[in-house]
């Protein structure tokens, strides 16, 4: 186990950013203090070949542009908010409308475009990088001076654990996630349609034509949204099923079973490489996104990312939760601490 720190470069406004490589005897991952982004995940396939399993960029400039939010920590709020407006304590707060009339991933000034403070630690054989960010009152339109901490830990069990914490001096919204695109055959290998996926969810949140939740939970039974048994992404991603047609593929929130405690909620397996990913979280929702909107994005080592070249497993509270009283609550009271964790576990079949 260990940690190596190297210079990544300078941002357009002259701030210095670094890379932090965490490694054990079997794998390594790299994160950067720019956007608290996950840059690489190296793991050996069934033939012993080392493969990088997440999409990314070779340069800091790539992450400064990064319209697909590759590898990014999203905050204060992940996913979509109808009308770009939240109601907290009877007060309406207007956010940026950066996707039509709605807010997506907190707007263009998201946390993925900030240089975070960072420090490293090694505890009981695990390597950690802790990223810290001050988000002032009305940052992105949200109330409250907030202190944010995101910790990446590489464990001896080949897990990347991401712990999120937030506290503000006013009632505010916290709903953070990681937006990494996984390709278990290697970031340069193209389509993920042969990946086999499972999701422990009996229902998903119905959305309208703008992909905003209607408030209804739709049973997955008998639909292309049913991943309760492992199956190929490609079996359903282009089905003539209205929610899939509207999203151009999978880009939906599944209402996970048994929320509230850490448990495995989803996984993926690439038969060609033999590499498996298991996702564990304490959160109630998971957005699976199959990179439908990706278009000739220039990535690492000469790779060009096209639609369906990666799959995101974004653990979260339900989208637009502030507008649906029966959805899990995303408002955190002043002085209270928002805490949640997600684990990405890698192994081979």
Which residue among the candidates 179, 252, 280, 297 is catalytic per the annotation?
Answer: 179
* Spatial contact of 266 and 252, defined as CB atoms under 8 Å apart: no
Q: What is the pLDDT of residue 345?
A: 98
What is the number of other CB atoms lying within 10 angstroms of the CB of residue 125? Answer: 9
> Mapping DSSP to helix (H, G, I), strand (E, B) and coil, where does residue 83 land?
helix
Q: What is the pLDDT of residue 1?
A: 82
Q: What's the Rg (C-alpha) of the chain? A: 19
Q: What is the pLDDT of residue 124?
A: 85
Strand partners, 316: 285
Q: What percentage of the chain reaches a pLDDT higher than 70?
A: 100
Q: What is the pLDDT of residue 256?
A: 98
Q: What is the mean pLDDT of residues 116-144?
A: 96
Overall residue count recorded for the chain in this entry: 349
The domain of 71 spans 2-348
Q: What is the pLDDT of residue 72?
A: 98
List, for residues 301-310, the tens digit of each pLDDT value. Answer: 999 999 999 9
Task: Please tell me the total count of domains within the chain.
Answer: 1
Q: What is the mean pLDDT of residues 92-111?
A: 97
Q: Which of 43, 277, 308, 258 is nearest to 178 (CA)?
A: 277
Q: What is the pLDDT of residue 125?
A: 84
Q: What is the pLDDT of residue 64?
A: 97
How many Å is the maximal CA-CA distance in the chain? 58
Q: What is the mean pLDDT of residues 12-28?
A: 97
List, for residues 272-305, the tens digit of each pLDDT value. Answer: 999 999 999 999 999 999 999 999 999 999 999 9
Q: What is the pLDDT of residue 261?
A: 93
Q: What percentage of the chain reaches a pLDDT higher than 90?
A: 98
Backbone angles phi, psi at 151, to 5 degrees: -115, 125
Q: What is the mean pLDDT of residues 213-221?
A: 98
179 is annotated as an active-site residue? yes
Output the six-digit token pair for 205: 């949140």
Average pLDDT, the chain: 97
Residue 123 has pLDDT above 90, yes or no: no
Query: What dihedral do alpha carbons 106, 215, 229, 268 form, nearest 10°?
Result: 0
CATH number at residue 261: 2.70.98.10
Residue 9 has pLDDT above 90, yes or no: yes
Output the six-digit token pair for 171: 């009632």
Output the six-digit token pair for 5: 């720190």
């Amino acid at each position: 186990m260990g940690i190596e720190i190297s210079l990544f470069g300078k941002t357009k406004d002259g701030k210095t950013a670094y890379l932090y490589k965490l490694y054990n005897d079997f794998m390594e991952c790299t994160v950067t203090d720019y956007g608290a982004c996950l840059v690489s995940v190296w793991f050996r396939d069934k033939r012993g070949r080392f493969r990088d399993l997440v999409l990314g960029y070779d340069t800091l400039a790539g992450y400064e542009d990064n319209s697909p939010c590759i590898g990014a920590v999203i905050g204060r709020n992940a996913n979509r908010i109808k009308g770009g407006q939240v109601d907290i304590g009877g007060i309406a707060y207007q956010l940026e409308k950066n996707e039509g009339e709605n807010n997506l991933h907190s707007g263009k000034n998201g946390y993925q475009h900030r240089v975070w403070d960072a420090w490293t630690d090694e505890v009981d054989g695990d390597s950690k990088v802790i990223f810290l960010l001050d988000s002032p009152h009305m940052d992105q339109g949200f109330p409250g001076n907030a202190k944010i901490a995101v910790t990446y830990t590489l464990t001896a069990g080949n897990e990347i654990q991401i712990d999120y914490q937030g506290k503000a001096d006013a009632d505010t919204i916290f709903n953070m996630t990681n937006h990494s695109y996984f390709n278990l055959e290697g970031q340069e290998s193209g389509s993920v349609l042969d990946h086999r996926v499972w999701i422990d969810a009996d229902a998903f949140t119905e959305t309208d034509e703008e992909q905003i939740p209607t408030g209804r939970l739709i049973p997955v039974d008998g639909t292309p949204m049913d991943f309760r048994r492992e199956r190929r992404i490609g079996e359903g991603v282009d089905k003539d099923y209205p929610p899939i047609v509207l999203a151009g593929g999978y880009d939906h929130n599944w209402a996970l079973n048994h929320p509230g405690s850490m448990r495995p909620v989803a996984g993926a397996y690439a038969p060609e490489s033999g590499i498996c990913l298991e996702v564990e979280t304490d959160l109630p929702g998971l957005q699976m996104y199959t990179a439908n909107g990706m278009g000739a994005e220039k990535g690492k080592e000469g790779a060009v990312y096209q639609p369906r070249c990666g799959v995101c497993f974004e653990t979260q509270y339900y989208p637009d939760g502030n507008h649906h009283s029966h959805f899990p609550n995303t408002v955190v009271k002043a002085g209270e601490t928002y805490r949640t964790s997600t684990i990405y576990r890698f192994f081979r079949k």
